[in-house]
């Protein structure tokens, strides 16, 4: 079999054409099968923040002893930051817990006040009913003959 008669690959023969062009000294043709640094379906690799990139460049430019010392300093700084953030998270957690306790106390106060308010509403309803009944009796008495109220 010659290269020209080789079976066509799944990519439509582009790989075999590139291989043939490479052997003949010609540059491969760019096309839909040219390789990108990353596939469109997958996102590019995450970029390091500029600060970390600068730290890495500095570390790569230093001699090994300085490099190790700078690395130890960087680790110490990161540990300090982690401890500070941990302490801040603990403080926030305590404040959230205290706030939760305040909400529970307010709920208990509201619950404790609901019974007297219900009683007050019942008393107002009874007073209204008694007033309506008294007005009816007064009107009945006024409508009777010989009543001195009218």
Locate tokens 């007005």: which residue? Answer: 135
pLDDT (tens digit per residue) in 61-88: 666 677 788 889 999 999 999 999 999 9
Residue 3's pLDDT is 46
- Looking at the predicted structure, is the pLDDT value of residue 110 above 60? yes
Assign 51 a pLDDT band (cuts: 50, 70, 90).
confident
- State both tokens at 36: 């990108």
Residue 15 has pLDDT above 70, yes or no: no
Strand, coil or helix: 87: helix
pTM > 0.75: yes or no: no
CA distance 47 to 54: 13
């Amino acid at each position: 079999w010659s290269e020209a008669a080789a079976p066509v690959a799944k990519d439509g023969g582009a790989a075999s054409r590139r291989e043939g062009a490479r052997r003949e000294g010609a540059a491969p043709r760019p096309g839909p099968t040219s390789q990108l640094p990353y596939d469109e379906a997958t996102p590019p690799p995450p970029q390091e923040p500029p600060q970390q990139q600068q730290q890495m460049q500095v570390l790569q430019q230093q001699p090994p002893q300085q490099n190790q010392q700078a690395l130890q300093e960087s680790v110490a700084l990161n540990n300090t930051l982690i401890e500070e953030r941990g302490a801040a998270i603990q403080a926030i957690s305590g404040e959230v817990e205290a706030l939760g306790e305040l909400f529970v106390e307010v709920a208990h106060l509201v619950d404790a006040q609901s019974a007297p308010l219900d009683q007050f509403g019942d008393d107002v309803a009874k007073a209204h009913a008694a007033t309506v009944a008294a007005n009816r009796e007064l009107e009945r008495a006024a409508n009777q003959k010989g009543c001195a109220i009218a």
